[in-house]
Amino acid sequence: MARQLLEAQVGHSSVAVVREVPFSAAVEATFRAGIEAGARWTIAVDADILVRPSAVGTLVAAAEASPDGFFHLQGQVLDRSFRIPRPGCPRVYRTSMLPRALSVLAAAVGEARPESQVSSQMAAEGAASLSIPDVLGLHDYEQSYSDLFRKGAFHTRKHQRRMPYSRVMWRRLSRSEPDYRALLAGAEYADSPDRDIGPDIGLFDRREIEQLLAAKGLHEKRELKTARTEVSAVVEAEIAGWRAPAEYRIWQARKLIPSGARRACRGLAAGIAGVGR
C-alpha cells in the first residue's frame, strides 16, 4: 500500500523498491538509485509510511523554495507508537550531493541512525539539513504485529527518553487495540539487560517473534486489501483528528518544571500512573 500511495503521485516508473538489510545497506541502495535516476531531487520513503496525497508536492515545493546548498529536507509524520507528530520520512535529498553522501555513509555502517550520521557530517561540510512542520503521512499504521514487536523492542533502547510516557500509554491502549499489545511485548522482550537488540531493527528472528506473540494471544494480521483511495481518506482523517494523548501532555509538563520545584508537583507522577489504570 505504501508503494501504491507514492505511485499515485509520481507514477509507477519513478518508484524504485529497495529491500537490502541492514538499514545502512538500504540507505546506500537508495542513494545509488537516486544517482542512477538522475533527477534533481531524490525522495526516500520507508515502507512503514503511508503518505498523504499532497506529500511529494509539499516536499518538492519546500526543496525548491529553500536556500541553495542544502543537502536534505524532511517533514513530520504522525507516529503510531508515540501518538505524536515527529520528524521522519519522507525525505528529499539533493541528488548532486549523493555521491559525497555515499562516501560519508561508508563510515556509518552498523549505526542505528545511518541517515542522521550522514546528515550531520554533510552539515559539518556546509550542506545543511532542513525541516518543515508539515505532517506528510502516518508512520507504523497498518503494520504487522511482528513489525510492531520489533519496534517496541527497538524503541525501548533507541528512544529511552520517551518510554516513561509511552509504556503507560501502550498499557492503556492495549485493552482495545492489539497493536499496542504487540508493542508492549516487544518492550518486555528488550527489558532484559542481557538481550542483544543490536543497532539494526531488521535483524530479528521472525519465528521467535511469532512464538512470543502467540503466547500473548496475537496471531498475524491478514494482508491489507483496502483500496488506495480509502486508505488516503483514512490518512487524512487521522492527521486532521490528532490530539496529543494525556500521557504525553503530562510528560511534557513535567519536563518543563524546574528540578527544584518538582516536589510541589508530585501529583504528576501519580497522574501518569493513573492514566494507565
Q: What is the pLDDT of residues 228-269, one digit of tens each?
A: 999 999 999 999 999 999 999 999 998 776 555 444 444 434
CA angle 215, 221, 227 (to 5 degrees): 170
105 pLDDT higher than 80: yes
Spatial separation of the C-alpha atoms in residues 58 and 18, rounded to whole Å: 23
Q: Cell numbers 500473548 correspond to what residue?
A: 216
Say what the pTM is. Answer: 0.87
Nearest to 183 by CA among 203, 198, 163: 163
Please give the Cα distance from 148 to 153 (Å, whole number). 9
Residue that wins the pLDDT comparison between 202 and 116: 116
**Residue 170 CB: number of other CB atoms within 10 A?**
27
Read off the pLDDT of residues 170-221 as tens digits, 9 standing for 90 and up: 999 999 999 999 999 999 988 877 776 665 555 567 888 899 999 999 999 9
Q: Which backbone phi and psi does 19 adopt, to 5 degrees?
A: -125, 10
Measured in whole angstroms, how far is the alpha carbon of residue 122 from the centre of its chain?
22
Confidence at residue 110, expressed as pLDDT on a 0 to 100 scale: 63
- Copy the grid coordinates of residue 266: 508530585
Cα–Cα distances (Å) from 41 to 67, 92, 169, 232, 256, in that order, read 14, 6, 38, 24, 39
For residue 130, list its beta bridge partners. 73
